Chains A and B, each alone.
Chain A
Amino acid sequence: NAGVMQNPRHLVRRRGQEARLRCSPMKGHSHVYWYRQLPEEGLKFMVYLQKENIIDESGMPKERFSAEFPKEGPSILRIQQVVRGDSAAYFCASSLEDRDETQYFGPGTRLLVL
């Protein structure tokens, strides 16, 4: 099992551009979580998705940010019209259904907005 995959690992965008971050969960995992880590801070929850459903997006900024986890393919975190304050490390985690709630993390995507 290759573990949680995220790509790209590093992403550079200019202000106003769009950023798309991808997360492929571990095989068999249908729960995906996105976290953001600003410099010198801990990880902050953004959104929790199951296949085709957003379960909890209470940590997501109301504007410019969206997430999806389609039936086929990876989960996508999309940031429109990026600003410098969006520069951060974005981590994805996945977990199995049912009882195993351990979250397994991907390596993260480092977004730099110029």
Chain B
Amino acid sequence: AQRVTQPEKLLSVFKGAPVELKCNYSYSGSPELFWYVQYSRQRLQLLLRHISRESIKGFTADLNKGETSFHLKKPFAQEEDSAMYYCALKARGSTLGRLYFGRGTQLTVWP
């Protein structure tokens, strides 16, 4: 069965420090991985997806199939990065578009 695990419920770092939000998944097929972010009082929005291999707001994430991980990283955290981050998985190529979400990590960046 598909499962997404975000082991850290809360993560705090100081401004300028590197940050890594962990995401592990279990899925027997070929997954498509996403990171969604929810800023305070805003809706959930897509941050990045692994097939795009892009950097958004300084964040990157690499799919590691050997470790079944898709950790989100940023070398220098900013206060405006404080938000709730959700890792999500979709079965690639599936006509059923359902996403499987982790429980989320609340990131706080202190000044």
- Count of A-B contacts with CB under 8 A? 51
Interface residues on A, range: 20 to 34
Per the bound structure, the CA–CA distance linking A56 and B90 in Å amounts to: 14
Contact of B86 among A3, A31, A42 (CB under 8 A): A42
B57 part of interface (Cβ distance < 8 Å):
no
Query: Is the pair B4, A42 in contact by a Cβ cutoff of 8 Å?
Result: yes
Query: Which of B36, B90, B98, B99 has the largest count of A CB atoms less than 10 A from its CB?
Result: B98
B interface secondary structure, majority? loop
If the complex has contacts A42-B4, A42-B86, A43-B86, are A105 and B45 also in contact, measured as CB distance less than 8 A?
Answer: yes
Query: Is the pair A42, B96 in contact by a Cβ cutoff of 8 Å?
Result: no
Q: Which residues of B contact A44 (CB under 8 A)?
A: 101
Contact with B along A59-94 (1 / 0, CB 8 A): 100000000000000000000000000000001000
Query: Is the pair A48, B43 in contact by a Cβ cutoff of 8 Å?
Result: no
Query: Is the pair A43, B43 in contact by a Cβ cutoff of 8 Å?
Result: no
- Can you list 9 A-B pairs, Cβ within 8 angstroms, ordered by A? A35-B99, A35-B101, A42-B86, A42-B102, A45-B100, A48-B98, A103-B97, A103-B99, A106-B43
New A-B pairs, 9, CB < 8 Å, besides A33-B97, A43-B44, A103-B46? A33-B98, A42-B4, A43-B86, A48-B97, A55-B96, A101-B90, A103-B97, A104-B45, A105-B43
- State the A residues within 8 Å of B (CB): 3-4, 31, 33, 35, 40-45, 48, 55-56, 59, 91, 95, 101-108
